[in-house]
Amino acid sequence: MSAATETRAEHGQMTHREIMEALSGLLLVLFVAMASSTIVSTALPKIIGDLHGSQTQYTWVVTATLLTATATTPIWGKLSDLYSKKLLVQLSIVLFVIGSLAAGFTQNTEQLIAARAFQGIGMGGVQALVQVAIAAMIPPRERGRYNGYLGGVLALSTVAGPLLGGLIVDTSWLGWRWCFFIGAPFAVIALAVLQKTLHLPVMRRDDVKIDYLGATLIAAGVSVILIWISFVDGSFAWLSWQTFAMVGGGVLLLALATWVESRVAEPVVPLPIVRERTTALAIIGSLAVGMAMFGGAVFLGQYFQIGRGYSPTEAGLLMIPMMFGILVSSTVAGKMITKSGRIKPYVVTGTIVLVAGFAGLSVLDHDTPLWYIGTAMAVVGIGVGLSMQNLVLAVQNTVSLKDIGAASSTVAFFRSLGGTIGVSILGAVLARRVSDSITTQLTAMGVPAGSSGGSTLDLNGMPEAIQHVVRAAYGDATGHIFLISMGVAVIGVIAAIAMKPSKLRTTVDLPADKEPAFAD
C-alpha cells in the first residue's frame, strides 16, 4: 500500500468510489457468513428430525455457534488493533467455511454441534472485523449512510438464508447437507474480491500481548452458565447441588476474568471503555437487540414448521416481513443520521418499536392469523433496523481510531452474548412448556406420554393424533417466549433513553485534544 493511500484512509479522504469498492468486498464477506448462518433457521427442524435430535439439541446447534462467536469476538477485535485487518477478515471467513464444510459431513447431532461451534469462531471474526474495517475507512458522520448498506445486506442475507435453506431441504436431490456446502464457492469469490479491493493501513506494534487467559475465563464462565440454563428444571432441579456448582462456578470464572482484564496490559475487553457511559448503555441495548435478532429468526422458523405445519420453503417466505422491516428501517435511518449527525433519536425509537413488536408476538398460538404474525414481525424488524447498527456507531463515535477494534468488538461481543443467552433461555423455556403441554394432552387422551416420541422433532414417524398434539404444544408455547423477550427489550428502551445526545464527528479519528482518558 502506498503512503498516499494510507494518509487518505487515516484522514477519511477516500472518495465515494474507493469506499464502495472496498465496501463491496466487506459486504460480500458479511453476506456469505450471515447467509450461511441463517440458512439453517428453516432447515434445522428437518436436520434435527433426520438426526433424531431433541429440542435441547436443536437449541444447542444454534447456541454452540453463538457461544464461540461471542467468546472470540473481543479477541478478533483486539487483534485488529495490532495486526492487518484485511488478513484477519480473510482468515475469519476461511475458518467459517471450514466449519461449514465439517457441519455438512456430520452424522449425528453431537458432531453437528461441534462443527457449528468451530464455525462460530469464524463468524465472530466476520461480525467484528467488518465493523472495524468500515470504521477505519469512514468518519462517523458519513458512516450512517454506509451503515444503511450494511443493514440492507444483513436483512438480505437473513431473508436469502432461510429461503435458500427451505428450498434446499425441499429439493430431494440436494438434501440438507447442501445448506452447509453451498457457501464455499461464494466464500472463495469473497476472498478474491477482498484481496483486490480492501486496502487499510496496518498499525504494527512490537510490544503485542494478547490476553488469552482473560478470553479463556470469559468463554468458560459464559459456557458454564449457558449449560446450566439448558438443563435446569429438566435434568436437575433449580435448588440442587448442580445449580449451585454451575452458577457459582460460572460467576466465579467471570469474576476472575474481570480481575484479569483490570490488570493485564492488553485486555480483550478493556474495562475503561466498557465503563464509559455511551459504551455501557450501548452494551445494555445490544443485549436486547441480540435477543431479538437471534431469538426471532430461530424460534419463528420452528414455529411455522413445527407449530403450523408449513414446509421449510414456506417458513422462509413467511419470515420475509421481519427482514423487510430491517432492510427498510436501517437504510432510511442511515441516510437520515448522515444528514442530521444525530443518532440517539433513532436508537430510542428503535428500542420502543422493538418492545411493541415483541408485545404483538407474545400472543401467538397455533391458530393466530398469518396477517397478524406478519405485521408483528415487520414491527420487530423495524426496531432491530433502527437500533442494531446504530448502537455500534454510537460507541465508535466516542473512541479514537487505535481503539476502534476493541470498542466495536466489545459491543458485538455483548450483542452476541445477548443472542446466546436469549436463545438458551428461550429454548429452555420453550422445551419445558412444550414437554408439559404434550404430557398433559396425552394423559388426557389416555396415551402414555413417555412412549409417544413427542420428545423429538421427527413428526413424520408419529400418528396423526400425536402430531396434532405436538404442533399445538409448539404453537401455543412460542408466544410465551416472546413475552419474556418483551420484558428484556424494555431494559433496552431505558438504556437508549439514558444515552447522552451527541453529534457524530466528521473525521475518522478523534482530534488529539479530545482523546479519551482510556486511549493512552
Among the listed residues 24, 30, 35, 27, the one whose alpha carbon sits nearest the alpha carbon of residue 182: 35
Contact (Cβ atoms closer than 8 angstroms) between residue 123 and residue 96: yes
Residue 2: predicted pLDDT: 38
Residue whose cell numbers read 435434568: 235
Surface-to-core class of residue 165, CB atoms within 10 Å of its CB (0-12 exposed, 13-18 middle, 19+ buried): buried
pLDDT the model gives residue 359: 92
**Separation of CA 3 from chain center:** 37
Q: Which of 87-101, 224-238, 337-351, 384-398 has the lowest mean pLDDT?
A: 224-238
Tens digits of residue pLDDT in 185-202: 777 787 887 777 777 766
Whole-angstrom CA distances from 23 to 27, 30, 159, 198, 319 are 6, 10, 21, 8, 27
Measured between alpha carbons, how far is 211 from 231 in angstroms, rounded to an integer? Answer: 31
205 — pLDDT class (breaks 50, 70, 90) = low
- How confident is the model at residue 11, as a pLDDT? 44
Q: Which three cell numbers stand for residue 107?
A: 452424522
Is 371 exposed, middle or buried (CB count within 10 Å of its CB: 0-12, 13-18, 19+)?
exposed
Question: Is the pLDDT assigned to residue 275 strictly greater than 80?
Answer: no
- Identify the CA nearest to 387 among candidates 465, 282, 234, 498: 282
CA–CA separation, 481 and 362 (whole Å): 7
More confident residue, 510 or 62: 62
Which pLDDT value is given to residue 162? 74
Q: What is the mean pLDDT of residues 498-509?
A: 70
> Burial, 175: exposed, middle or buried (Cβ in 10 Å; 0-12, 13-18, 19+)?
middle
> What is the pLDDT at residue 181?
85
**H-only helix segments in 105-211:** 109-137, 140-170, 178-181, 183-197
Tell me if residue 369 falls in helix, strand or coil.
coil
Residue 411: predicted pLDDT? 75
Report the pLDDT value the prediction gives residue 35, as an integer from 0 to 100: 77
Q: What is the pLDDT of residues 112-148, one digit of tens each?
A: 989 988 988 888 888 778 877 777 777 766 766 676 6
The per-residue pLDDT of the chain, averaged, comes to 77
Residue partners of 413: CB distance under 8 A and separation at least 6: 70, 73, 74, 77, 128, 269
Provide mean pLDDT across the span 14-30. 76
All cell numbers assigned to 317: 417466505
Beta bridge partners of 503: 342
Quick check: 488 pLDDT over 90?
no
> Residue 354: its pLDDT value, please?
92
CA–chain centroid gap for 380, Å, is: 15
> How would residue 32 be classed by pLDDT, with cut points 50, 70 and 90?
confident
pLDDT score of 347 more than 60: yes
Q: Reduced to 3 states, what is the DSSP secondary structure of residue 240?
A: coil
Rounded Cα distance between 211 and 230, Å, is: 29
pLDDT surpassing 80 at residue 256:
yes
What residues are paired with 325 via a beta bridge? none
Q: Which of 89-98, 215-224, 244-253, 450-459 has the highest mean pLDDT?
A: 244-253
Residue 129 corresponds to which amino acid? L
User: Nine-digit cell at 124?
Assistant: 465472530
Per the CB < 8 A criterion, the answer to whether 278 and 418 are in contact is: no
Q: Which residue, chain included where needed, has cell 482473560?
A: 214
User: What DSSP state is assigned to residue 257?
Assistant: H
Highest mean pLDDT among 222-226, 254-258, 294-298, 510-514: 254-258
Place of cell 408466544: 479
The candidate with the shortest Cα–Cα distance to 138, out of 417, 331, 412, 404, is 404
Q: How many angstroms separate the most distant Cα atoms in the chain? A: 79
Helix-helix angle 277-302:464-498, to 10 degrees: 170
Q: For 429-469, what is each residue's pLDDT tens digit?
A: 887 888 888 888 777 777 665 544 445 555 666 677 777 78
pLDDT over threshold 80, residue 413: no
* Confidence class for position 12, pLDDT limits 50, 70, 90: very low
Mean pLDDT value of segment 52-63: 74
Least confident of 84-88, 341-345, 422-426: 422-426
d(CA 19, CA 271): 32
- The yes-or-no verdict on residue 384 having pLDDT over 90 is no
Q: How many CB atoms lie within 10 A of CB 94?
A: 15
Q: Which of 14-23, 67-76, 375-384 has the largest mean confidence?
A: 375-384
pLDDT band at 375 (very low <50, low <70, confident <90, very high): very high
Considering only CA atoms, give the Rg of the chain.
22
pLDDT of residue 148: 66
Global pTM value: 0.73
Residue type, 272: P
Q: Which pLDDT band holds residue 353 (cuts at 50, 70, 90)?
A: very high
Q: Does the structure show a pLDDT above 90 at 296? A: no
Dihedrals φ, ψ of 502, to 5°?
A: -155, 155
pLDDT score, position 355 = 92
284 Cβ contact list (under 8 Å, min separation 6): 491, 492, 494, 495
- 341 CB contacts (<8 Å, ≥6 apart)? 141, 503, 504
pLDDT at position 419, please?
A: 72
Q: What is the pLDDT of residue 370?
A: 92
User: What is residue 36's predicted lDDT score, i.e. its pLDDT?
Assistant: 73
Of 153, 38, 120, which is closest to residue 385 (Cα–Cα)? Answer: 153
Q: Report the share of the chain in percent with pLDDT over 70.
A: 82
Helix (H, G, I), strand (E, B) or coil at 267: coil
pLDDT class of 379 with cuts at 50, 70, 90: very high
> According to the model, what pLDDT value does residue 4 have?
38
Residues 6+ apart with CB under 8 A from 442: 448, 449, 452, 454, 466, 469
